[in-house]
Chains A and B, each alone.
Chain A
Amino acid sequence: METVNTERSYLDMELLRFTTAGSVDDGKSTLIGRLLYDSKAIFQDQLEAIERASIKKGEEHINLALLTDGLRAEREQGITIDVAYRYFHTPKRKFIIADTPGHIQYTRNMVTGASTANAAIILVDARNGVIEQTIRHAYIASLLRIPHVIVCVNKMDLVEFKQEVFDAIQARFLEFSTHLDLHDVRFIPISALLGDNVVERSKNMEWYQGPTLMYLLENLYISNDYNQLDARFPVQYVIRPQSNEFHDYRGYAGRMASGSFRVGDRVKVLPSGFTTNIKGIDFWTDHLDSITAPQSGTILLEDDLDVSRGCMIIPADNGIKQGQDIELMICWLNEKNMIVGSKYALKHTTNDLRCMIKEVKYKVNINTLEKDYEDKTIRLNDIACITIRTTKPLFYDSYRQNRITGSLILVDEGTNITVGAGMIL
């Protein structure tokens, strides 16, 4: 039985969200199964259920992949269709895994999983080395600005745990990734099947002096993952109780997208541009001194300004970009091609507006990282640089600076389906 001590520390744990990308048969499901199993996140009845299913399918070992295949079609076809979310914790951290399928047709799922991740695990089969899919996964991690990338060279047991194999893969990865925007890349030689360097240090690879995967996940420094410099508070909802007790209360509810505010800070409200001071920061019955991303709260201002959903509160002396002509990278998520000249609904922070696609500048071949200036048809899973014009000015940061105020989605006005994921340049 766990002690009261762990229970207390549980209240102070940090949250780390990571995504896993690998090709078919890279052992991704085995790795996730191993992390869940070794951290005791798999329960007896779940284990028994997949044991029964493995036997039914005539498989030799317990197929840990069955744990992560949630939908009937996935079990029948033995593939993963959709992003699945998994949870486990150690005494140090709580983890959310966005488990995304690796096949090319599911780029959109990888982008989805990557959008909220602090870290990405990219699996490379030691026997195959860096392949097109590795480049694709690394590119998406770079495009979506995942702060930390962990390259796990898996199946080391099948290459006799040789250091040369690992070193060659690391060198090849570093060579092509100079073209990418990755900042924190780590390499670990593992065997997910046998557990080497996953949770337990490998006895077969004494030459490797670095941390195990679990140690890294528990100790990655993530406090800097949010933009600390630029305070951004998109207003989500206006709270007006209209009760006798809180007669004049007018609070702006939202979640800090980046940075922090303190009571007394001089701020500017966009789009009006009027300046005022922060009178108070409320959360439930507490009056706070400050609010920091990613906290939700309610901000009260000293002056009575016209503030509603879609407005943004920023520091009075801090600039933010604004404009109607926006250049961005788009990942297309729909079977229906993107149409230049066509209009789409657009969601950016708490703002709803419309836009028109003006131009496709180039498309990225995500297997070679080459820019294609010829083929400008944007299909499902394509990634391209485009320009749009919005119906009213957008207040934004570049996605490089800020993952919240720099991201947007496009929605088909006929079907209401989310068709594009945009990262503002």
Chain B
Amino acid sequence: MSSKVPISHLRELESESIFVIREVVAQFENPVMLFSGGKDSIVMYHLARKAFYPAKVPFPLMHIDTGHNFQETLDFRDWLVKETGAQLIVRYVQDSIDKGRVVEETGYNASRNKLQTVTLLDAIEELKVDCAMGGGRRDEEKARAKERFFSHRDEFGQWDPKNQRPELWNLFNGKKNLGEHFRVFPISNWTEMDVWQYILLENIALPSLYFSHEREVFERDGVLYAKTSFLKMKETEVAEKRIVRFRTIGDATCTGAIESRATSVEDIIREVAATRITERGGRADDKRSEAAMEDRKIEGYF
């Protein structure tokens, strides 16, 4: 037969990610898939369903709940779990605060984003998780650009960026000692555009926050924040109703909205193609310093 039909780059990325997810199940005993309710974890979970169909996805989803989520994200999560018969594990940052494992940040820019690392590492230890899959992409941030598909974490859950295992061909080395674990990033090679195009191609459902809607927002350091009970406004800051959507979905305290009229995935793709600011440009957690992501990743962040 003629086998010279090239496959499209989206199908090649899909095939690569499915290969990685299947390797995780074959190489680890107790993997979980981190699920935030954002588009990257939704796409990753969709790939997992494709990887094992007609069998069920052979690992649970794990959500580290900061307690500062948008309600729409939680509603969507619960709908998806019910719709697809997923197993869901939730661990709460609030519990880590109550136990005295972490201390809540104070001030106007207080966020629980950094605190989740402790909750995550505690959950990994409690549940004896040996591999946590995450929806991180190399195009998101420059420290992530050096991340492996299979990323080793020592017994403290730490990443050693200067001493990463070489990763060649499609041979993934998940060998480890007791107490250590791996983070695996199946969609490492996808860009923001790839994710959106794939959502369109596969008709994947998303939380309503991604699409244009009216919301009370206020501006701080050039970022539009949703007015919520989680984020303390300064006296000088004024909330007003605007037509916005979110490019990424994280904690309500550090995720910026953009003004947009995009009501469909096609609209969003057009917007992404034209935009000149990276996705994480609206993320206050990355603006803290030039090496903000590297520091958080070393400690064991997602």
A residues near B, CB below 8 A? 1-2, 4, 6-7, 10-15, 43-46, 49, 53, 67-73, 75, 81-87, 89, 93-94, 96, 108-109, 111-112, 115-116, 222-224, 228, 236-237, 239-243, 245-246, 249, 253-255, 259-260, 262, 282-285, 290, 292, 294-296, 309, 333, 345, 347-348, 350, 403-404, 407-409, 411, 416-418, 421
- Assembly CA distance A294 to B7 (angstroms): 8
Q: Which residue of B lies closest to A334 (CB)?
A: B166
- Assembly CA distance A81 to B170 (angstroms): 22
What chain B residues lie within 8 Å of A237 (beta carbons)?
A: 22, 25-26
- Assembly CA distance A84 to B31 (angstroms): 27
| Interface residue stretch chosen among B98-106, B136-144, B206-214 | B136-144
B175 touches A285 (CB 8 A): no
What chain A residues lie within 8 Å of B23 (beta carbons)?
A: 236
Q: Which residue of B lies closest to A408 (CB)?
A: B171
B274 touches A284 (CB 8 A): no
- A32 to nearest B CB, angstroms? 12
Which residue in B171, B175, B269 is a CB contact (below 8 Å) of A416?
A: B175
B10 touches A11 (CB 8 A): yes
Q: Which residue of B lies closest to A14 (CB)?
A: B6
B250-302: which have CB < 8 Å to A? Answer: 266, 269-270, 273-278, 281, 290-291, 294
Please give me the 4 A-B residue pairs with the lowest Cβ-Cβ distance, nearest first.
A15-B9, A70-B142, A416-B175, A241-B55
- Assembly CA distance A43 to B266 (angstroms): 21
B169 touches A416 (CB 8 A): no
Q: Which residue of A lies closest to B23 (CB)?
A: A236
* A-B CB contact pairs (8 Å), 10 listed: A2-B270, A43-B277, A43-B278, A68-B145, A87-B189, A94-B194, A236-B22, A290-B3, A296-B22, A404-B170
What chain A residues lie within 8 Å of B55 (beta carbons)?
A: 239-243, 246, 249
What chain B residues lie within 8 Å of A67 (beta carbons)?
A: 142
| Interface residue stretch chosen among B120-128, B157-165, B237-245 | B157-165
What chain A residues lie within 8 Å of B142 (beta carbons)?
A: 67-70, 84
A223 touches B4 (CB 8 A): yes
- B38 to nearest A CB, angstroms? 19
B residues near A, CB below 8 A? 1, 3-16, 18-19, 22-23, 25-26, 49-56, 138-139, 142-146, 161-162, 164-171, 173, 175-177, 188-189, 191, 193-194, 197, 200-201, 266, 269-270, 273-278, 281, 290-291, 294
Select the residue from B13, B142, B200, B277 with max chain A CB neighbours within 10 A. B142
What chain A residues lie within 8 Å of B7 (beta carbons)?
A: 292, 294-295
What chain A residues lie within 8 Å of B290 (beta carbons)?
A: 49, 53, 72, 75
B143 touches A70 (CB 8 A): yes
Q: Which residue of A lies closest to B295 (CB)?
A: A72
B167 touches A112 (CB 8 A): yes
A260 touches B53 (CB 8 A): no
Which residue in A12, A73, A295 is a CB contact (below 8 Å) of B15?
A: A295
What chain A residues lie within 8 Å of B13 (beta carbons)?
A: 15
A87 touches B138 (CB 8 A): yes
A417 touches B165 (CB 8 A): yes
What chain B residues lie within 8 Å of A249 (beta carbons)?
A: 54-55
Select the residue from B10, B173, B188, B278 with max chain A CB neighbours within 10 A. B173
What chain B residues lie within 8 Å of A241 (beta carbons)?
A: 54-56
- Assembly CA distance A83 to B146 (angstroms): 6
Q: Which residue of B lies closest to A292 (CB)?
A: B3
B1 touches A1 (CB 8 A): no
- B34 to nearest A CB, angstroms? 21
A71 touches B161 (CB 8 A): yes
- A92 to nearest B CB, angstroms? 11
Given contacts A15-B9, A111-B168, A296-B16, 19 further A-B contacts (CB under 8 A): A1-B273, A7-B197, A7-B266, A11-B10, A43-B281, A67-B142, A71-B161, A86-B139, A87-B191, A237-B25, A241-B55, A253-B22, A292-B7, A294-B16, A296-B14, A296-B15, A296-B19, A345-B175, A409-B173
- A331 to nearest B CB, angstroms? 9
Q: Which residue of B lies closest to A67 (CB)?
A: B142
- Given contact pairs A87-B139, A115-B168, A285-B53, A1 touches B4 in the complex (Cβ within 8 A): no
- Assembly CA distance A218 to B135 (angstroms): 29
B273 touches A6 (CB 8 A): yes
What chain B residues lie within 8 Å of A403 (beta carbons)?
A: 169
- Assembly CA distance A282 to B145 (angstroms): 33
What chain B residues lie within 8 Å of A347 (beta carbons)?
A: 171, 173
- Assembly CA distance A108 to B51 (angstroms): 32
- B284 to nearest A CB, angstroms? 13
- Assembly CA distance A254 to B23 (angstroms): 9
What chain A residues lie within 8 Å of B15 (beta carbons)?
A: 255, 294-296
Which residue in B49, B53, B145 is a CB contact (below 8 Å) of A84?
A: B145
What chain A residues lie within 8 Å of B171 (beta carbons)?
A: 347-348, 407-409
- A221 to nearest B CB, angstroms? 10
Q: Which residue of A lies closest to B137 (CB)?
A: A87
Q: Which residue of B lies closest to A12 (CB)?
A: B8
- Assembly CA distance A285 to B46 (angstroms): 13
- Assembly CA distance A296 to B56 (angstroms): 18
Q: Which residue of B lies closest to A95 (CB)?
A: B9
Q: Which residue of A lies closest to B152 (CB)?
A: A416
What chain A residues lie within 8 Å of B19 (beta carbons)?
A: 236, 255, 296
Q: Which residue of B lies closest to A229 (CB)?
A: B3
What chain A residues lie within 8 Å of B53 (beta carbons)?
A: 239, 282, 284-285
- Assembly CA distance A67 to B290 (angstroms): 12
- A24 to nearest B CB, angstroms? 19
- Assembly CA distance A340 to B291 (angstroms): 42
B12 touches A15 (CB 8 A): yes
- Assembly CA distance A71 to B49 (angstroms): 34
Which residue in B25, B54, B144, B161 is a CB contact (below 8 Å) of A82?
A: B161
- Assembly CA distance A262 to B5 (angstroms): 14
- Given contact pairs A82-B146, A296-B19, A7 touches B50 in the complex (Cβ within 8 A): no
- Assembly CA distance A65 to B299 (angstroms): 27
What chain B residues lie within 8 Å of A408 (beta carbons)?
A: 171
What chain A residues lie within 8 Å of B146 (beta carbons)?
A: 70-71, 82-85
